[in-house]
Amino acid sequence: MNLDFSPTDLAFRDEVRSFIAEAYPADVRAKQESGADLTKEDYLAWHKILGAKGWSAPSWPVEFGGTGWTPVQKFIFAEELAFAGTVPILPFGMNMVAPVIQAFGTEEQKARHLPPILKGDVWWCQGYSEPGAGSDLASLTTRAVRDGDHYIVNGQKTWTTMAQFADWGFFLVRTDPAAKKQEGISFLLIDMKTPGVTVRPIITLDGAHEVNEVWLEDVRVPVENRVYEENKGWTCAKFLLAHERSGIAGVARSKRGLEKLRAVAANETEHGRPLMQDPYFARKMAELEIELLALEYTELRGLAREGEGKGPGPETSLLKIKGTEIQQRATELAMEAAGPYAAPHLLGADEPGDNALAIGPHHARGVADTYFNVRKTSIYGGSNEIQRNIIAKMVLGL
């Protein structure tokens, strides 16, 4: 695979870079720089701008509104977004439920749900994890009982990211409790405004409201909102998780983070010596950058496979493992670079942006928040231990 950028690719990179510089919302940028909380409208603003440009879904097939870009162009686009520090397009609609609808949905479901996802008009959330079924997802107990042309759904989901903003959610529910664990599960699309759906916040250690509990009490869901066959939802779930794991790797944003960290470490500290002159820190930086480079090539091979019309394979598990490990180690190095200024902030700040560390050097701002938040990446999307089991089975044949 030729990884050199062609003149066409370089021209495309310049086009993307110019567009971001001109079109990215100034008010969203200001909030990001101040550390203020972003609203639902802030997240969707950039999505809508990309949607109007026709650039919101690089990974989608062209017939559904995808860009038709080459794997290298997709890679360049992701890198430019990361280097510009844009708000990411949230994956729940674009990269998770949309591929499932494209692959398994009816024509009516595609026509109803894909255009709003593409344009950024609808916010989705994921109803997978339960209090007793996180990494062991097949142990879920949320029940859906058929009642004519509806299902009656009862149960609880947890760690539901951004459900407080969601218009729709995709949920795994058990429709045959007598079947084996991976069988008897169905994949439902649920309007979050349906009576009986209650979203309750889970406030994390940093005082943020990112995740939630979702309670489903006698929720009536039309049978037409079931994707694929009844009791065959596990097929959809596995397909979706493969796409999710590819995105979790976050290679481009890790590259940007390490570049910023290297620049910080090259400056003089309060003791007068740049941190990069510490051989132990420099060695850890070099090791991490080498691992990230190897992961980047693995991602490019995956993009090439996608460009050949092949779906995500077991390499997504490797991307997920190494990508999240690199993210976590990068935040550990950022904490080390910030030194005592990395101490977690006090909760209950009065002004927007105060939850970003208000004292010390600029690079220490929010570093503790990021460190704690990234601890979860090796768990969601299927824990890294489970990913190793997948690799052992599908690649090594164990």
pLDDT tens digit at each of 398 positions of the chain: 455 678 999 999 999 999 999 999 999 999 988 878 899 999 999 999 999 999 999 989 999 999 999 888 988 998 899 899 999 999 999 999 999 999 999 999 999 999 999 999 999 999 999 998 877 888 999 999 999 999 999 999 999 999 999 999 999 999 999 999 889 999 999 999 999 999 999 998 777 899 999 999 999 999 999 999 999 999 999 888 776 666 677 888 898 889 888 888 887 666 668 889 999 999 999 999 999 999 888 887 776 666 666 666 677 788 889 999 999 999 999 998 888 877 765 444 444 444 333 344 566 677 888 888 888 888 887 788 888 888 888 777 76
Give the Cα separation of 42 and 22 in Å (integer). 17
pLDDT at 313 (0 to 100): 67
Q: With helix as H, strand as E and coil as C, how does the chain read?
A: CCCCCCHHHHHHHHHHHHHHHHHCCHHHHHHHHHCCCCCHHHHHHHHHHHHHHCCCCCCCCHHHCCCCCCHHHHHHHHHHHHHHCCCCCCHHHHHHHHHHHHHHCCHHHHHHHHHHHHHCCCCEEEECCECCECCCHHHCCCEEEEECCEEEEEEEECCCCCHHHCCEEEEEEECCCCCCCCCCEEEEEEECCCCCEEEEEEECCCCCEEEEEEEEEEEEEEHHHEECCCCEHHHHHHHHHHHHHHHHCCHHHHHHHHHHHHHHHHCCCCCCCCHHHCHHHHHHHHHHHHHHHHHHHHHHHHHHHHHCCCCCCCHHHHHHHHHHHHHHHHHHHHHHHHHHHHCCCCCCCCCCCCCCCCCCCHHHCCHHHHHHHHHHHHCCCCCHHHHHHHHHHHCCCC
Give the Cα separation of 247 and 244 in Å (integer). 5
Q: Which residues are catalytic?
A: 244
pTM of the model: 0.86
Q: How far apart are the first and last CA of the chain?
A: 29
Give how far the C-alpha of residue 324 lies from the chain's centroid of Cα atoms, to the nearest Å: 11
pLDDT at 96 (0 to 100): 94
Q: What's the CATH superfamily of 123-234? A: Butyryl-CoA Dehydrogenase, subunit A, domain 2 (2.40.110.10)
**Lookup result for tokens 């169905």:** 186
Q: What's the CATH superfamily of 249-394? A: Butyryl-CoA Dehydrogenase, subunit A, domain 3 (1.20.140.10)
pLDDT at 307 (0 to 100): 60
Q: Where are the domains of the chain?
A: 7-89, 123-234, 249-394
Give the Cα separation of 206 and 208 in Å (integer). 6
